[in-house]
Amino acid sequence: MENKELQEVVDAITDAILAMEQRINKRFDTVEDRLEAIEDEINGISLDVDIIEAKTKKHDFDIKRIKSAM
């Protein structure tokens, strides 16, 4: 092979590797976006659970206070 032919082969391989890297990066970005959305949803659910627990504890406290007042 001549240097020009060898350079063309190297360029073609380099282009293929770069294209593959871009596809992989897009897939990772998609996965990362999905994981972030799931994380946001879990955080929202966790906040809801915390609110419910706080309300339950307040109700339990109110019930105990009413029982002791009787």
Give residue-wise pLDDT tens across range 36-54. Answer: 999 999 999 999 999 999 9
> How many percent of the chain have pLDDT more than 70?
99
**How deeply is 56 buried, as exposed, middle or buried, from its count of CB atoms within 10 A (0-12, 13-18, 19+)?**
exposed
The arithmetic mean of pLDDT across residues 10-29, rounded, is 97
Confidence label for 1 from pLDDT (cuts 50, 70 and 90):
low
Question: For the range 57-66, what are the long-range contacts, defined as Cβ-Cβ under 8 Å and sequence gap of 24 or more?
Answer: none
pLDDT of residue 20: 98
- Structure tokens belonging to residue 67: 């029982």
Whether 9 shows a pLDDT value over 90: the answer reads yes
